[in-house]
């Protein structure tokens, strides 16, 4: 009987080793350490470079379009950050329609990020920032 128990342990160990060797997808957490070139530290000894990273739209700057209704009776005054709105005289309406905007979601040094390691472990997908 002891031989059967050892055989089962060996089979279980081989199965676990086979799964680890295939390197299935794994969730990791990292921190941006450099922007040019982009580097993300995942562990103390593992720093990923641009060639290993795939950036999702959530962590990049991109242009997109928004649609707006009509803006009524207000206009902007001053300059950022002190700009405000004041009533317009006489009353009138501006049709906004479709406007292109830039979404500033790019990474910065110190950002904590969520990564997915692709099967095989060669590439990491930067999914989003944390917090």
The model's pLDDT over 76-120, given as tens digits with 9 standing for 90+, comes to: 555 555 556 665 555 666 666 788 889 999 999 999 999 998 877
Average pLDDT over residues 6-10: 85
| % pLDDT > 90, the chain | 42
- For residue 63, the surrounding DSSP H or E stretch is strand 61-72
List of residues 6+ apart from 121 with CB closer than 8 A: 23
30-40 burial, b if ≥16 CB within 10 A, otherwise e?
bebeeeeebbb
Give the integer Cα–Cα distance in Å for 52 and 124. 6
- Residues 85/76, Cβ–Cβ less than 8 Å: yes
- pLDDT exceeds cutoff 70 at 75: no
For the chain, what's the residue count?
131
Give the residue with greater pLDDT, 24 vs 62: 62
| Whole-number Å distance between alpha carbons of 128 and 41 | 15
What backbone phi and psi angles, to 5 degrees, belong to 2?
Answer: -60, -30
Cα separation, 36 vs 62, whole angstroms: 18
């Amino acid at each position: 009987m002891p031989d059967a128990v050892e055989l089962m342990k060996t089979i279980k160990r081989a199965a676990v080793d086979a799964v680890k060797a295939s390197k299935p997808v794994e969730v990791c957490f990292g921190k941006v350490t450099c922007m040019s070139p982009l580097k993300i530290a995942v562990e103390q000894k593992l720093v990923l470079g641009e060639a290993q990273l795939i950036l999702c739209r959530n962590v990049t700057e991109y242009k997109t379009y928004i649609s707006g209704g009509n803006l009524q009776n207000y206009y902007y005054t001053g300059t950022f950050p002190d700009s405000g709105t004041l009533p317009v005289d006489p009353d009138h309406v501006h049709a906004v329609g479709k406007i292109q905007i830039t979404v500033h979601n790019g990474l910065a040094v110190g950002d904590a990020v969520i990564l997915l390691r692709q099967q095989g472990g060669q590439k990491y997908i930067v999914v989003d920032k944390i917090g």
